[in-house]
Amino acid sequence: MRNKVVNQPKKYFQFGLTKTFPCNYLMTEKERLIVVTNVEELNSENYERLLTAGFRRSGEQVYRPHCSDCKSCESIRLPIDEFTPSKSQKRINSINKDLTLRVVKSPRPEYFSLYQRYIDTVHKDGAMYPANYEQYESFIFSSRVDQLFIELYLEDELVSVAVCDNLPFALSALYTFFDPTLSKRSLGKFSILKQIELSKKMHKKFLYLGYQIDECAKMNYKNQYFPHERLKDDQWQRTENKQALVQNTQKHPNK
């Protein structure tokens, strides 16, 4: 006797639209978000599909910018097998060759003190200042998506943590925090290079870096990895090299 196949009903995401509020990145702009309202349906597989459509997560919240007068936020991702490090990125690798890397699946209690020092030193002008534990937990962690924590140690001291989501065909970089006294090491950029290496080892197709905002100076480290792709008008468009990026910026100076 054959087992009866029961067709399970498909589960769909539901969405809501937030009120307009001041943008955290561009002082002259207002921000509005599309948010997933039934996050209990979220898992690593369907979150990856949302990423390809320009969504992003913060803690358990999944959102996408939906601003009426601004399209500056563009999702950016790196095709892993095609990445080639630049001369400056090779120098960053060389500077940090004395660091030890560990990849773990569960966070450690000592992360918060490092996170707190980072936020309270580097981002005093940001919305997350001053850091507190409740904010840290609600921002970094998700109970619905698999996560990896990329730790960097100088001798036996934890100096950097990169948090990323482990998805079927991609890694998604969520946030990196590090010892602010080691700013000359460019640990944020170095952590992206390590996530690229890890993505390649895990046979991932892409590394998602969140949103790129060309007008925001703090964001412009993301667009220095080539080739990369950006989501523009719901189409992923490719930038091959730095020269092409400069030419595009010159063509659209007020974008």
Residue 207 maps to which CATH number? 3.40.630.30
Cα 75 to the center of its chain, rounded Å = 9
Quick one: pLDDT at residue 119?
A: 97
88 and 41 together in one domain: no
Cα radius of gyration rounded to whole Å, the chain: 19
145 and 229 together in one domain: yes
Give which of 141, 132, 117 is closest to 61, Cα–Cα: 141
Which structural domain, as residue segments, surrounds residue 37? 15-72
Quick one: pLDDT at residue 243?
A: 65
- The packing angle between helices 87-95 and 187-201, to 10°, is 100
Q: How far is CA 229 from CA 59, 76, 78, in A?
A: 25, 6, 6
85 and 54 together in one domain: no
Quick one: pLDDT at residue 125?
A: 83
Instruction: Give residue 137's identity as a one-letter amino acid code.
Output: E
C-alpha–C-alpha distance, residues 63 and 60, integer Å: 10
53 and 86 together in one domain: no
- Cβ pair 33, 58 in contact under 8 A: no
- Cβ pair 190, 198 in contact under 8 A: no
243 and 173 together in one domain: yes
165 and 246 together in one domain: yes
pTM of the predicted model, to two decimals? 0.90
Query: How many structural domains are present in the chain?
Result: 2
45 and 171 together in one domain: no
Quick one: pLDDT at residue 1?
A: 43
Q: Residue 3 domain-assigned?
A: no
Residues (pLDDT < 50) of the chain are 1-3, 5, 254-255
| Residue 153 half-sphere exposure toward CB, CA atoms < 13 A | 9
> What residues form DSSP beta bridges with 204?
none
Quick one: pLDDT at residue 251?
A: 52
29 and 148 together in one domain: no
